[in-house]
Amino acid sequence: MSSFQNPNPDELAGTEQPFVSHLMELRDRLLRAIIAVAVCFGALCLYPGPGQLYDLLAAPLVASLPEGTKMIATNVIAPFFVPLKITMLAGFLLALPVVLYQAWAFVAPGLYSHEKRLVLPLVVSSTLLFFAGVAFCYFFVFGQVFKFIQGFAPKSINAAPDIEAYLGFVMNMFIAFGAAFEVPVIVVVLARIGVVSVEKLREWRGYFIVVAFIIAAVITPPDIVSQLALAIPMCLLYELGLLAATYFVRSTRAPDDAGTEPPSQSS
């Protein structure tokens, strides 16, 4: 009874300090990530500058407009804040490797060796795939979409897009294509954590093709070029994800799951 009435004061000894140390490490990691984003943002403000970055982002649209046509700003402060938002976004993307490394360094000590073999390649590949989706959207899709839209515009309409509306459109398209290019990572994660087997994912290939075209029809402008430009890469990346899942499930299996338990030592 005395043990219940007078609990051991050392029962929780040592639990606060590790928790506080984890919080301090998290604070340090976040601070380093913020500093990296701020440094990249400051560097981009100096060169090439917010105005030049927005001109670069708007180049695919401006190239499809009639000669001499410029974009407009319906908000008084939009010419200042919109290029600044673009610069901030570019600074974050430029510092993304540092941000992801800080996240990886924080969680890595708590992972098993076979889990580390899975997480680090997924972090790197998901970053590269997202950048690939954004680049594919900017260099190929935008030019085709804007040409299609301007080709259907009546001659009596003088197209002068608003810079804030264009920024929203670009961000939505970047997120859509960047997320669509993450299909291999999603397939690998689903197969590795056991939600669905690779064999079952192969059987669902036909369903995914239908879903890919539905997604492309919903989130892209109503032209066949942009819809095919999103749906076809998603289908190809699904096949790539099946190949990668087969490899990762085998190579990142825990020792107990693989049946390679070390033999017990004889006494």
pLDDT for the residue 65: 84
Residue 108 lies in a domain: yes
Tokens representing residue 260 in the block:
């390679």
**Pick from 114, 117, 92, 177: which is nearest to 141 by CA?**
177
Q: Is residue 25 part of a domain?
A: yes
Q: What is the pLDDT of residue 154?
A: 76
Q: Is 87 inside a domain boundary? A: yes
101, 29 contact by CB (below 8 A): no
**Which residues of the chain fall short of a pLDDT of 70?**
1-17, 252-267
Write a three-state SS string for the chain.
CHHHHCCCCCCCCCCHHHHHHHHHHHHHHHHHHHHHHHHHHHHHHHCCCHHHHHHHHHHHHHHHCCCCCCCECCCCCHHHHHHHHHHHHHHHHHCHHHHHHHHHHHHHHHCCHHHHHHHHHHHHHHHHHHHHHHHHHHHHHHHHHHHHHHHHCCCCCCCCCEHHHHHHHHHHHHHHHHHHCCHHHHHHHHHHCCCCCHHHHHHCHHHHHHHHHHHHHHHCCCCHHHHHHHHHHHHHHHHHHHHHHHHHHHHCCCCCCCCCCCCCCCC
Closest residue by Cα to residue 248 from 118, 100, 80, 91: 118
Residue 1 covered by a domain = no
130 belongs to a structural domain = yes
* pLDDT at residue 266, as a whole number: 42
Q: Specify the pLDDT at position 254.
A: 58
Note the pLDDT of residue 3. Answer: 47
- pLDDT for the residue numbered 5: 52
Contact 184, 127 (CB under 8 A): no
Predicted pLDDT at 16: 54
Query: Is 260 a domain residue?
Result: no
> Could you list the residue range(s) of the whole structural domain that residue 73 is in?
10-251
Q: Is residue 105 part of a domain?
A: yes
The count of structural domains within the chain is 1
pLDDT at position 232 is 93
Is 264 within a domain? no
